[in-house]
Amino acid sequence: MTRCVDAIVVGGGIHGCSTALHLCLAGLQPVLIEKDYAGRHASGVNAGGVRQLARHIPEIPLSIRSMGIWEKIKDLLDDDCSFESHGQVLVAENEEELAVCRTRVAELNALGFTHEELIDATELRRLVPAVAESCPGGVVSRRDGAANPAQTTTAFRRKAEQLGATVREGVAASNIRYSDGLWHVDVGAETFAAPVLVNAAGAWAGKIAAALGEPVPVETVAPMLMITSRVPHFIDPVVILRGRKLSFKQFSNGTVLIGGGHLATPYQDRNETVLDWKSLATSARTVFELFPVMRSATIVRAWAGIEAKMKDDIPVFGPSSRHKGLYHQFGFSLHGFQLGPGAGAVMAELIVNGGTQTRVGDLGIDRFHPSTL
Amino acid sequence: MTVAPKREAYDVVVIGAGPAGLAAAATSAEAGLSTLLLDENIGPGGQVFRAIASTPVTDRNQLGADYWVGADLVQSLRATSAEVIHRATVWSLDRNLDIAVSVGGASAFVKAQRVILATGALERPFPIPGWTLPGVMTAGAAQTMLKSSALVPDGRTVIAGQGPLLWLLAAQILRLGGRIDRILDTTERGNYFAALPHAFAFLTSPYFAKGLAMMREVKAKVQVVSGVTELSAAGEGQLATVSYVAGGKRETIPADLLLLHQGVVPNVNLAMSADVEHRWDDLQLCWSPVLDASGNSSVAGIAIAGDGAGIGGANAAVVRGRIAARAAVEALAPAAAAKLRSMAALRADLAKAERGRVFLDTLFRPAPQFRIPSGDTIVCRCEEVTAKDVLDSVAIGATGPNQLKAYRRTGMGPCQGRLCGLTVTELMAQARGKTPQEIGYYRLRAPVKPITLAELAAVPKSEADIKAVVRG
């Protein structure tokens, strides 16, 4: 038997869950389909950075929109998501890197964006006392912070379900087809039909798009992270290096998360990743050099989440260029977590109102396919 | 002096030098395969033959004849060309058979054509009220001290729980002049009836006569309370009393030391982190790897032998080690397999060694109240999560151990679930009316044992790194 709903959202990452939640808030009844469980992949196991800092210009409006939601996340979800706002700092390790920072901030200012602020060595030292003496400055985005990704994605899922979303976990969406003006999707023995289909399937979204005639240049990647034992509190903001692949965050319980985008080998069909310890050693070395306080810490766990990375590093977001009622929301290319809350809100506006005040036009799939609609 | 592995690649890497690992490494090396045995302890033996090459206990009766079997295994291994490294902690293994090992404060990477995991067993968690108090420890920890340092308890000591190791430890403590005030036997009365149909096999097993004699020896010297149905420890910052209920009657006794034990379960962390498939074993109440008759796991090239393959005891472990190694020899050097004991003979050895196991598993199947705690009893020691916390999380949507991490951080501490994993699975299964198999287990991640940042930073650099890293 086919069950009719208002929208079918494929993918229970933070994006799918956020979109389902915001559709509920707009009075719709969506179904959310997740082949594993909400937050199983990148959304639940990423670094948790809530970052406007150092973003690609086309996604900055979406990031700013999202930041407003993050700051009131508890009102939205009845869960604080362990969101903390101590800023994010981009560290320049030398004058050349600082010069690049200066140009970047000037460019953003010219476009009317003021969230990134150039800082000198003194301010850098004030924000990050543990940083090596040789660093001449950097950039800060003061409203940024971090949250617990698994807690956050779970909270979005839970709230969406409370507000009326139907959630199906543990069975993949299959046989996606359009007939009689409706999208039909099988979930095990069930079939759902709706006028709207949202493709938010993360690393699995590229296949769905291709099967619907909209192939995009996307690859599956698995950025690695590692976490340390508890060490005495020494740092508040999230720190990113300008020149090397490293990001760094100490949680309130003292553990330190070390990331930066070194990649594991994903085995997508098996939900598995194989870590590259030689690359993680590079991260460990960088931390060792820059933060002597960390030298005696132990590494407790390392992992990688599977996600989609676009060739141009910006997401695919917005209506299909070929099919009525189809929307894409994937390819966040290692920086989708902070965008989740805002992207869900904007996607719901696109679906319900047919448009949005937030500028997302540069993110559309039509950058790869001229519209045929 | 502990040194790093001599080569970057081996035909066979065996992990763990207990009975299974010693036997596997000896068999593999005997057949001429380049063999590396990595072991975390300071000497060979694992837990059952701990300190076999160094124990200060010289009277052979005190640790029992079975203990000294380990010496022969060590001898046969030493007669081969196998490279053996102790104090070597393997902290990563993946499906490409890349192994990361920490030796002497530095990490090394080796590659194998075949890996034989012989990582043995862990003691089952025993989460009763007060089990995290100082003064409460596992019987296994006590046995480690006894074997390696001849240390035995001299304060007021209570031993509680069940299983063969409990009686063995009690006998060993008494023989070495240690003190035991009372033994609280938690074996369920019903288990005796359930085990009865399997008794014949056990009567013909080598464990029967020895086990009986040992229990008699202990009971002659210590007051044993059987049929204990409730158990708790209490004290202000230190164990002061042990309370129990037996035959409906509650009693509280003063104690300085409480040794807890309710059997052992496979140590699955390394295998699980390598994505080896495991299934819930309903009789042994634990996760066991899915293996074929030669010990091969779901990951090509990784075999598992010994108690890590499912609890079978030391004799079975030795045979399983030989079987896994023979299978590796058959695959890598078929000609050399001819001079080894035949697979058919080994399988017959195994059947003999496993005789009586079902009886023991049934008799010593721990009771639900000692596996599945309630209320304020701590489940996860690392993050101090209680049974009630877990149930509260289930009530608002946590469906399994991995989802629970998002609510309570269980299993995310340094022990990676070794002390809470089984409890969490069974507690959530009970709360959700599902089987443990349906509920699942934590996804485990390398490093399976913590390594220092400095050690990881010292990993040899790749060519590209050496060119890139000129700053600092």
Average pLDDT, chain B: 92
Bridge-based pairing of strands A307-310 and A218-228 is antiparallel
E-state strands within B16-95: 35-38, 83-85, 88-93
Mutation for B interface: A267, A285, A286, A287, most B CBs within 10 A = A285
Contact A19, A31 (CB under 8 A): no
Contact list in A for residue B107 (CB cut-off 8 A) is 277, 281
Contact list in A for residue B396 (CB cut-off 8 A) is 158
* Separation of first and last alpha carbons in chain A: 31
Partnered with residue B37 across adjacent β-strands are B14, B84
Report pLDDT for B94.
96
Structure tokens at A224: 């690695």
Closest Cα to residue B311, out of B293, B289, B284? B284
For residue B452, give the nearest of A94, A270, A296 by CB distance.
A296
Structure tokens at A292: 């002597």
pLDDT for B292 beyond 70 = yes
Contact A164, A29 (CB under 8 A): yes
CB-based contact A280 B109, cutoff 8 Å: no
Which helix (H) or strand (E) is B66 found in, with range?
helix B65-78
Mutation for B interface: A36, A245, A274, most B CBs within 10 A = A274
Per-residue pLDDT tens digits for B119-133: 999 999 999 999 999
Partnered with residue B447 across adjacent β-strands are none
Report pLDDT for B468.
46
Report pLDDT for A55.
96
Contact B220, B226 (CB under 8 A): no
Report pLDDT for B97.
98
B464 touches A: beta carbon within 8 Å:
no
Per-residue pLDDT band for B312 (boundaries 50, 70, 90) equals very high
Per-residue pLDDT band for B60 (boundaries 50, 70, 90) equals confident
Closest Cα to residue B29, out of B4, B2, B11? B11
Indicate the domain borders of chain A: 2-76+149-217+312-367, 86-145+219-309
Per-residue pLDDT tens digits for B383-392: 899 999 999 9
pLDDT for B1 beyond 50 = no
Per-residue pLDDT tens digits for B27-40: 999 999 999 999 99
How far apart are the C-alpha atoms of B284 and B263, rounded to whole Å?
9
Per-residue pLDDT tens digits for A40-73: 999 999 999 999 999 999 999 999 999 999 999 9
Structure tokens at A26: 């707009």
What contacts A21, CB < 8 A, 6 or more positions away?
A76, A156, A159, A160, A163, A165, A344
Structure tokens at B282: 């309903």
- To the nearest whole percent, how much of chain B has pLDDT over 90? 74
DSSP one-letter code for B197:
G
What contacts B238, CB < 8 A, 6 or more positions away?
B133, B134, B135
CB-based contact A151 B407, cutoff 8 Å: yes
How far apart are the C-alpha atoms of B397 and A299, rounded to whole Å?
30
Contact list in B for residue A302 (CB cut-off 8 A) is 445-447
A281 touches B: beta carbon within 8 Å:
yes
The architecture (CATH level 2) of B372-439 comes to Orthogonal Bundle (1.10)
DSSP one-letter code for A84:
B
Report pLDDT for B306.
96
Domain B9-122+265-340 adopts which CATH fold?
Answer: FAD/NAD(P)-binding domain (3.50.50)
| CATH number of A2-76+149-217+312-367, picked from 3.40.50.150, 3.50.50.60, 3.40.50.300, 3.40.50.2300 | 3.50.50.60
How far apart are the C-alpha atoms of B386 and B377, rounded to whole Å?
5
User: C-alpha angle with apex A154: A148 to A155, nearest 5 degrees?
Assistant: 85
Mutation for B interface: A277, A287, A296, most B CBs within 10 A = A277
Whole-model pTM?
Answer: 0.92
CA gyration radius for chain B?
23
Assign domain A86-145+219-309 to its CATH superfamily: D-Amino Acid Oxidase, subunit A, domain 2 (3.30.9.10)
What contacts B315, CB < 8 A, 6 or more positions away?
B19, B206, B353
Single-letter residue type at A269: D
Report pLDDT for A250.
94
A257 touches B: beta carbon within 8 Å:
no
CA gyration radius for chain A?
21
CB-based contact A296 B445, cutoff 8 Å: no
Structure tokens at B55: 């124990």
* Separation of first and last alpha carbons in chain B: 33
Per-residue pLDDT tens digits for B315-330: 999 999 999 999 999 9
In the block, tokens 């995290």 appear at B132
Residues 386-415 of B with CB under 8 A from A: 396-397, 399-400, 402-403, 405-407, 412-414
Q: Is-same-fold flag (B9-122+265-340; B125-262)?
A: yes
Per-residue pLDDT band for B472 (boundaries 50, 70, 90) equals very low
Contact A321, A371 (CB under 8 A): yes
Per-residue pLDDT tens digits for A78-120: 999 999 999 999 999 999 999 999 999 999 999 999 999 999 9
Indicate the domain borders of chain B: 9-122+265-340, 125-262, 372-439
Closest Cα to residue B137, out of B159, B170, B154, B120? B159
What contacts B264, CB < 8 A, 6 or more positions away?
B121, B122, B123, B124, B140, B163, B165, B307, B311
Contact B251, B244 (CB under 8 A): yes
In the block, tokens 């609609």 appear at A373
What contacts A323, CB < 8 A, 6 or more positions away?
A178, A212, A213, A373
Helix (H, G, I), strand (E, B) or coil at A17: helix
Instruction: Walk along chain A (373 residues) and give the pLDDT tens digit of each residue.
Output: 899 999 999 999 999 999 999 999 999 999 999 999 999 999 999 999 999 999 999 999 999 999 999 999 999 999 999 999 999 999 999 999 999 999 999 999 999 999 999 999 999 999 999 888 889 999 999 999 999 999 999 999 999 999 999 999 999 999 999 999 999 999 999 999 999 999 999 999 999 999 999 999 999 999 999 999 999 999 999 999 988 889 989 998 899 999 988 999 999 999 999 999 989 998 999 888 888 888 889 999 999 999 999 999 999 999 999 999 999 999 999 999 999 999 999 999 999 999 999 999 999 999 998 888 7
How far apart are the C-alpha atoms of A11 and A153, rounded to whole Å?
12
Single-letter residue type at B263: G
Burial of A322 (0-12, 13-18, 19+ CB in 10 A): middle
Contact list in A for residue B94 (CB cut-off 8 A) is 274-275
Structure tokens at B36: 């590396």
Q: Is CATH 3.40.50.300 what the domain over B125-262 is classified as, yes or no?
A: no
CB-based contact B109 A295, cutoff 8 Å: no
DSSP one-letter code for A346:
H
In the block, tokens 């809470």 appear at B420
A293 touches B: beta carbon within 8 Å:
no
How far apart are the C-alpha atoms of A318 and B300, rounded to whole Å?
43
In the block, tokens 């009075």 appear at A27
How far apart are the C-alpha atoms of B179 and B158, rounded to whole Å?
9
CB-based contact A281 B472, cutoff 8 Å: no
For residue B450, give the nearest of A158, A299, A303 by CB distance.
A299
Is the predicted ipTM greater than 0.85, yes or no? yes
Report pLDDT for B130.
97
Q: Where are the alpha helices (DSSP H) in chain A?
A: 14-25, 42-45, 60-70, 73-77, 95-110, 121-127, 149-162, 205-211, 277-290, 340-353
Single-letter residue type at B208: F
Helix (H, G, I), strand (E, B) or coil at B468: helix
Counting one residue from A and one from B, how many pairs have CB atoms under 8 Å apart? 107
For residue B453, give the nearest of A275, A282, A284 by CB distance.
A284
CA dihedral of B336, B342, B346, B351, whole degrees rounded to 10: 160
User: C-alpha angle with apex B316: B312 to B322, nearest 5 degrees?
Assistant: 135
**Helix-helix angle B421-432:B387-395, to 10 degrees:** 40
Per-residue pLDDT tens digits for B427-471: 999 999 999 999 999 999 999 998 999 889 887 665 454 444 433
What contacts B344, CB < 8 A, 6 or more positions away?
none
**Helix-helix angle A149-162:A340-353, to 10 degrees:** 30
A90 touches B: beta carbon within 8 Å:
no
A133 touches B: beta carbon within 8 Å:
no
Structure tokens at A10: 């494929």
Per-residue pLDDT tens digits for B248-283: 999 999 999 999 999 999 999 999 999 999 999 999
pLDDT for B208 beyond 90 = no
Partnered with residue B288 across adjacent β-strands are B279
- Give the nearest chain B residue to A132 (CA atoms): B472
Contact list in B for residue A228 (CB cut-off 8 A) is 453
How far apart are the C-alpha atoms of B385 and B375, rounded to whole Å?
11
Contact B51, B73 (CB under 8 A): no
Per-residue pLDDT band for B2 (boundaries 50, 70, 90) equals low
Structure tokens at B155: 């304060």
How far apart are the C-alpha atoms of A330 and A310, rounded to whole Å?
9
